Structure 1
Amino acid sequence: MRLSTQSFPRPALDSRSGAALVEFALVLPLLLLILMGALETCSMLYLKQTLHIAAYEATRVTLVPNTTSAQVNFAAQQILNDRRVQNATIKITPSNWTTAPINTFVTVRVDAPSNANFAVPLMFFRNQTITGQSTMMKEY
């Protein structure tokens, strides 16, 4: 008994057989650029929000009677250390905030360089200083 080996006709390969691969190869760099840009933007927003939170907490400490600048810096530095922010600077304005009169606005500004705080500093936010700031009124 002989088995019949019936062959089925294969569809002819058309001219679009490799088009999907070529299109993917052309679009992949654009997709990767968009992805990296989105990641860098998210990192920048995270850093900016962290600096704002650190400035806010430090400003709250300035409003407590008999606090020192070391206590203010410590409050901000705790937040910055928890979020692994590197090379940040903290500035309190006015510098004589402990002896300033009532109803004086006290501002704490926290700056950090973008290059030291991004996992992969790409082209969009390279060599920039990101700032967070908070202002409150002295009421005592």
Structure 2
Amino acid sequence: MIEFAVCLPVFLLIAMGTIETCRMIYLRQSLKVAAYECARLAIVPEVTVADLQDQCDVLLMGRNISNYTLHCTPADPSTLNYGEIFITTVEAPASENALVGSWIYGSSTVSESVSIMMEY
């Protein structure tokens, strides 16, 4: 019983740390995928910012990511000419997407961005 009482908290701490680390890796990868897919969509002619937001919503809501934001540089992809760079950045608060809550991450934000060159 004494060994169980000593080992159980250590085991639970290691298990929760592993799960939380995997959740943050999943969050970063999900944001990267969303940023990439939005960037690829942005270089299609006549795409609007609303189309990009819809694409981001489909990807991240399906992965249960909450309170994310999409930023585009330049703000309107239709103004790009061939060879110009378009940047999409997707951000999400770590604490709102964590399993254990905000006491580990505080107010930190996870952000991923993708740069892509405008095609024909």
TM over 0.5: yes
Structure 2's unaligned 5+ residue stretches are: none
Alpha-carbon contact 2:49-2:75 (below 8 Å) kept: no
Helix, strand or coil at the partner of 1:98:
helix
For the aligned residue pairs, the C-alpha RMSD in angstroms reads: 1.6
Give the fraction of aligned pairs with identical amino acids, expressed as a percent. 36
Unaligned runs of 5+ in 1: 1-20
Question: Which secondary structure does the structure 1 equivalent of 2:22 belong to?
Answer: helix
Q: What is the match of residue 64 of structure 2?
A: 84
More helix by share: 2
Pairing of 1:97-116 with structure 2 (within 5 A): 97-116=77-96
When Rg is computed on C-alpha atoms for both structures, the one with the higher figure is 1
Give the aligned length: 120
Matches within 5 A, 1:94-133: 94-121=74-101, 123-133=103-113
Matching residue of 1:3: none
- The alpha-carbon distance between structure 1 residues 42 and 126, as it changes in their structure 2 partners (threshold 3 A), is farther
> If the length of structure 1 is used for normalisation, what is the TM-score?
0.78
